[in-house]
Amino acid sequence: MTLAPLWTSADAAEATHGHATGSWAATGISIDTRTLEAGDLFVALAGPNFDGHKFVPAAFEAGAVAAVVSKKNSDTLNGNPGLIVADTLEAIRDLAFMARSRSVAKVTAITGSVGKTGTKEALAHVLSRQGDVSYSRSSLNNHWGVPLSVARMPAEADYGVFEIGMNHAGEITPLVALARPDVAIVTAIAPAHMEFFNSVEDIARAKAEIFSGLEGGTAIINRDTEFFDLLAQCASESGASGIVSFGRHAGADMRLMECISDASGNNIEARWKDRQLAFRVDQPGVHWAHNSLAVLASVIAMGGNLEKATGDLSTLPPLPGRGAVHVIPWGDGNIRLIDDSYNANPESMAAALKTLGHMEPDGGRRIAILGDMLELGDISAASHAGLRDHVEENTIDMVFLVGSEMSALSGALEGSRLGAIANTSEALMPQILANLQAGDVVTVKASNGIGLGRIVDALINPQTIPRAANGD
């Protein structure tokens, strides 16, 4: 099947006020030669520690039809088709602006301290059963990820779903101005990135910037957060035409009535106005009940089919790094591994430990492998030490720790619960391998910068594990 062009040389030149060399048509956009697909337009981004212009030759070797380069680096085209612009990051923003302007899609933008990626993935999943969806891949939610995601939206898409993150005030406003959503979701407010804020209320105000791009659309807000009134006020002041709330709160429009969790997911009962909803989400953790309510509220606000969406939530595939469950042969049995290694803050860490507490080991133990929660500033030591209560409440048998900040938790834990602590994933790995037993259920959770994904990769790829350590 021949893909329709996403960007032609003429359209891209018009959008960016750049100079196109040659006539070309791209079916996608890439900034990374490792994931570039044939037919892509390669954009050579440059930053303090990298310069994509060095990879322009590799991009053409991988099948790029053209490359976006800066004027001062135009020689990197070496006679190949391209687009010469003043600044390549600004060019992505210009492409995003035109992509949104020419689109007829209904667009949802999602932010929050926790839950935004899972909610984005679930919403894109159910909407893909109702039309053509363009959405943020992975966690492309920052100053270049959002423009890239929006610039990838085909003009004929029915829906757009974009995740918007931040760790400083003022970062969401210019990004949501590109997405210009019809629906804006705030999933939750938690003490994440406290290194850069004076209070959690300041975080809530920064998240509320997402409403500035609504242009009369619908705001969907977690009713259970203590900052609901503040968020609702910000949405109203930004001109939202409607505010829809979700959560357990008795006043929630999309209200969670019951959530029964098991080893692989949740059976959920909810109420939308006078309508009763019953559905299943095959993702571990009760936080998925809240994610799903935000998804369904957005489907309604975008004019989608609610009944179909509730059914399609049950087919959401496992999300790597965000709660995917792996069953791994181990010794004379199996271990179950919950991969929640992508990110962490105090609220999401508590949720991960609660999920582990709901998992019944098959004759083994509950094991938590935890790494530092980054960017917590002055509350870091207390937040890490405070995880002890969640470890005890959820009957976690053994804890392995990675990172300097986790020393606060190691000092707070009872000696019998602490398996080992190390500064790096690699240093901790031998201790983990020596201690895991058949029947154990294991969760892995940390901020992405700690690199606990390497532990997950080692455990789910048995060929990389020494046979003796695997109980053979």
> Domain 103-315, CATH 3.40.1190.10 — does that match?
yes
Assign residue 373 a region: left if phi > 0, alpha if psi is -120 to 50, beta otherwise? beta
Q: Where do we find the tokens 């133990």? A: 365
In this predicted model, what pLDDT tens digit does every residue of 186-219 receive, in sequence order? 999 988 778 888 999 999 999 999 999 998 899 9
- Burial string for 324-346 (b: 16+ CB within 10 Å, else e) reads bbbebebeeebbbbbbbbbbbbb
DSSP 8-state secondary structure symbol assigned to residue 2: P
Nearest partner of 81 among 92, 96, 68, judged by Cα: 68
Q: Give the residue extent of every domain in the chain.
A: 7-88, 103-315, 324-464
Tell me which residue of 215, 214, 185, 188 sits closest to 203, measured CA to CA. 188
The interaxial angle of helices 287-301 and 346-358, nearest 10 deg, is 110
* The Cα angle at residue 378 between residues 377 and 380, in degrees rounded to 5: 70
Q: Which helix (H) or strand (E) holds 130?
A: none
Compute the distance between CA of residue 35 and CA of residue 128 in angstroms, rounded to an integer: 23
Phi, psi for residue 287 in degrees, rounded to 5: -60, -20
Strands 40-43 and 66-70: parallel
Query: Residue 300: which H helix or E strand, with range?
Result: helix 287-301
Half-sphere exposure of 69 (CA within 13 A, CB side): 24
Whether 335 contacts 442, CB under 8 Å: yes
In the chain, DSSP finds a helix count (H) and a strand count (E) of 16, 24
Output the pLDDT for position 462.
59
For residue 363, what are the contacts with CB-CB under 8 A and spacing of at least 6? 333, 438, 439
CATH fold for the domain made of 324-464: Protein-Tyrosine Phosphatase; Chain A (3.90.190)
∠456-470-359 over CA atoms, to 5°?
55
- Asked whether the beta carbons of 146 and 134 are under 8 A apart, the reply is no
Question: What is the distance, to the nearest Å, from the Cα of residue 245 to the centroid of all Cα atoms in its chain?
Answer: 21
Beta bridge partners of 94: none
Q: Which residues of the chain have pLDDT under 50?
A: 1, 466-472
Closest CA to 34 of 63, 74, 69, 76: 63
DSSP letter at 463 equals G
- Tens of pLDDT, residues 268-324: 999 998 899 999 999 888 889 999 999 999 999 999 999 999 999 999 998 888 888
pTM, whole model, 2 decimals?
Answer: 0.86
Alpha helices in 359-452 (DSSP H): 380-385, 387-393, 407-412, 425-435
Written out in words, the top-level CATH class of the domain with range 7-88 is: alpha beta
